[in-house]
Amino acid sequence: MMKCTEATQLLSEKLDRPLSTKEKVSLGMHTAMCPACRQFGKQMSALREITQRYVQSDDTESEDAKK
Amino acid sequence: MTSAALPIDPAPCSSLFDDTEFMNALRLQMLKFATLQVRNQALAEDAVQDAMLSAYQHIERFQRQAALKTWVFAILKNKLIDILRKEKRYTSASILEEGAGRNDEALLDTLFTDHGHWQKDERPQKWDEPDHGLESSDFWKIFDTCLDALPARYSRLFMMREFLELESNEICDNEQLSVSNLNTTLFRARLRLRECLEDNWFAGETCP
Ligand SMILES: [Zn+2]
């Protein structure tokens, strides 16, 4: 069984390169059983989405933020 | 990039640019980010200058500080991508930072048990879904603080990948890094940033 240290590294690398089939399978088996790593995986994607919006804020309501 | 006589119009919308405190803070923030990315003061200043100038030229668009900031950072982002692509010889950073590796080992020891599993109280928690104050200047302050706490090389490569959205192979090529070196650096940057954001922003349902 894969360790969390390895799983977290793959959950990060997944954002930068396609994983091999073998990696996908063992990662899938790990995350199926490990809620902490599952959460970590979600946070990796969230972190990417957040960072892409770096400095964008809509303090004081949002009328012209979209336009 | 020519005339010093910019069309400053006394209409209310131009007052954003008259808020010198805000404008200076914005300029410094841009300069800091640009310098981190391109590693050359003159190139960074030019990029910031150009981005500011284009904002002045579209002065009528901005009713609020937030909109202006979003705009200039988008312009700056594109300028920095151009510079990184064109000026490899100035911008690449082949020096590894001392000490970063050792701190990482210590972090890994705090987060994981000897068997390589999450320590009980370090397990990632559910983050509140966005909207909940995520796009606020308060959030970005925390984010910047967390970013600053990383070794410079980590925050630089992380932002290059995630904000400038350069592909991994392009970064490796520009920076003369191996793919595995980049992947490890990005992993460690994300690991720390995640931890810092969770502790300082997402922890606790309510902010005092
Ligand atoms: Zn795990």
Specify whether the CB–CB gap between A5 and B116 falls below 8 A.
yes
Question: CB-based contact (8 Å) between B55 and chain A?
Answer: no
Question: Cα angle at B19 between B16 and B23, to 5 degrees?
Answer: 90
**Above pLDDT 90, what percent of chain A?**
79
| A10: in domain | yes
Domain boundaries B11-86, CATH class: mainly alpha
What pLDDT, on a 0 to 100 scale, did the predictor assign at position B138?
A: 86
Asked whether the beta carbons of residue B158 and residue A51 sit closer than 8 angstroms, the reply is yes
Range of the domain at A40: 4-50
Asked whether the beta carbons of residue A58 and residue B66 sit closer than 8 angstroms, the reply is yes
Specify whether the CB–CB gap between B94 and B176 falls below 8 A.
yes
Interatomic CA distance for residues B26 and B54, integer angstroms: 15
Length reported for chain A: 67
Residue B9 predicted with pLDDT over 50: no
A49, two tokens: 């989405």
Length reported for chain B: 208
pLDDT band at B6 (very low <50, low <70, confident <90, very high): low
Q: Which residues of A touch B162 (CB under 8 A)?
A: 47-48, 51-52
pLDDT digits over B39-57, tens only? 999 999 999 999 999 888 8
Instruction: Write the ipTM.
Output: 0.88
**Above pLDDT 90, what percent of chain B?**
55
Query: Of chain A residues 14-43, which have a CB less than 8 A from chain B?
Result: 15-17, 34-37, 39-40, 42-43
The CATH number, out of the four listed (1.10.10, 1.10.101, 3.40.50, 1.20.140), of the domain defined by the range B94-206: 1.20.140
Residue B145 predicted with pLDDT over 90: yes
What pLDDT, on a 0 to 100 scale, did the predictor assign at position B53?
A: 92
Closest-CA residue of A relative to B147 is A51
What pLDDT, on a 0 to 100 scale, did the predictor assign at position B132?
A: 55
Question: CB-based contact (8 Å) between A52 and chain B?
Answer: yes
Place of tokens 């590796």: B101
Choose between A9 and B4: higher pLDDT.
Answer: A9
What pLDDT, on a 0 to 100 scale, did the predictor assign at position B133?
A: 67
Q: Which residues share a beta bridge with B112?
A: B118
Q: Where in chain B is the domain with CATH 1.10.1740?
A: 11-86
Residue B111 predicted with pLDDT over 60: yes
Name residue B203's amino acid.
A
| A30: in domain | yes
CA distances (Å), origin B199, targets A27, B126, B191, B193: 26, 12, 12, 10
pLDDT digits over B13-37, tens only? 557 778 889 999 999 999 999 999 9
pLDDT digits over B154-171, tens only? 999 999 999 999 999 999
| A62: in domain | no
Give the CA dihedral B64, B37, B56, A54, nearest 10 degrees: -20
Asked whether the beta carbons of residue A9 and residue B187 sit closer than 8 angstroms, the reply is yes
Question: CB-based contact (8 Å) between B202 and chain A?
Answer: no
- What's the number of domains chain A is made of? 1
Nearest C-alpha of chain A: how many angstroms from B181? 11
Specify whether the CB–CB gap between B157 and B193 falls below 8 A.
no
What pLDDT, on a 0 to 100 scale, did the predictor assign at position B208?
A: 42
Choose between B130 and B21: higher pLDDT.
Answer: B21
